[in-house]
Amino acid sequence: MTTVQNWHSGIAQIKESKIIGLYLGWVVPEDGQWQPLMRLAKSDRGYEASHTRAYQRLAHKYRGMAEMVSLPTVDGQEIAYTIPDIFSVRMPRLRPDTERRCKFLGLDYPNIDRLAFIAITGGNINGDSYDICPIMEPNSYSQYQFYCVLQEVNSDIKSNLAAYSKLQYDIASNGRVVVKVASDELGLLPPYFSLLGNDITEIEIINVSDDPYLGNKILVAVISKVDLYANQCFELATGKVIV
C-alpha cells in the first residue's frame, strides 16, 4: 500500500528509469499465463533480437505465431542485429496524438526515447494480442522501478482520485494484478506483473490524464525488490529457432 502523491510533480521521475531492452509477450489462452516470446536489447551493434524458449514451445502449437514473431531474414538467414517488424510497428510516430501521449508520459518530443515509449504504454496496437514488458536495471537501492499505464481503468473511481487516496492491490484468479482505491477497483497492471504476484512492494500514481483525447489514462510507478527476469520463462533459445 502506498500514499498517492501530487502526480503532476512526479512525472520527471520517469527519466531516472533505466530501460535497456524489451520483451514481446503474449497471454496463453489455455492457462491465462503471460509468456515472453522475443527479446530486443541494446547492444554494441545497435540492437539484438532473440527468441525465448517459450516462443519455441508455443510457436509449434499456435498457427501464425511463427510468421508474426519472426526475425528478419536475408537469403534465408536470420538477421538478429536489427529491429524486427513486430517491435517496429509499435514504435511512436511523429504526429499530434503522439505528442499528447509524450506530454502525459513525461517523455521528450520530438526526440522520443522509443524504447521508453513502448515500454510504458505497453506497445499495444490494433490487430494483435501481443504486448511489451520492459527490461529494467535495478536502481541504487537494488529495486526494480517500472512505469506503466493502467489497463481497464474505472472512470468513476478515476474522477474521484485525490492526493490523500491510498493504493493497494489484489491478485485476481487469473493472476492479473488489480489496483484498488480502498475496496474499489481502479484498474489492472499489465499482464507481465502476474509473474511478480505478491512481490510488488509499492504502487504510486505518477500522472492522471485530464486530456479528453487520451481517455482514461493513469500512469503509475511499480516497485519490486525481486528480479522479474530470474523467472525461467525468460530463458533465451539457443541457436536457430525452427518452427
Alpha helices in 130-217 (DSSP H): 155-158
Residue 87 is assigned to a structural domain of this protein: no
Residue 64 is assigned to a structural domain of this protein: no
Which residue has 489496483 as its cell numbers?
Answer: 179
Count of the separate structural domains present in the chain: 1
Write down the mean pLDDT value for the chain: 88
| Residue 112: DSSP 8-state | -
Q: Which three cell numbers stand for residue 118?
A: 513502448
For residue 207, give its domain range. Answer: 2-22+93-234
Q: Name residues whose C-beta falls within 8 Å of residue 89's C-beta, 6 or more positions apart in sequence.
A: 125
Residue 178 is assigned to a structural domain of this protein: yes
pTM for this predicted structure: 0.90
Question: What is the predicted pLDDT for the residue at 4?
Answer: 35
Question: What is the predicted pLDDT for the residue at 2?
Answer: 32
Find how far residue 200's CA is from the centre of its chain. Answer: 15
Find how far residue 175's CA is from the centre of its chain. Answer: 16
Residue 204 is assigned to a structural domain of this protein: yes
State the Cα–Cα distance between residues 232 and 25, nearest whole angstrom.
14
Residue 183 is assigned to a structural domain of this protein: yes
1-39 pLDDT tens trace: 333 344 544 455 555 558 999 999 999 999 999 999 999
Mean pLDDT of 76-87: 81
Question: What is the predicted pLDDT for the residue at 44?
Answer: 84
Contact 206, 13 (CB under 8 A): yes
Residue 170 is assigned to a structural domain of this protein: yes
Contact 3, 168 (CB under 8 A): no
Contact 110, 98 (CB under 8 A): no
Residue 27 is assigned to a structural domain of this protein: no
115-174 pLDDT tens trace: 999 999 999 998 889 999 999 999 889 999 999 999 999 999 998 887 657 899 999 999
118-128 pLDDT tens trace: 999 999 998 88
Residue 38 is assigned to a structural domain of this protein: no
Which residue has 505465431 as its cell numbers?
Answer: 65
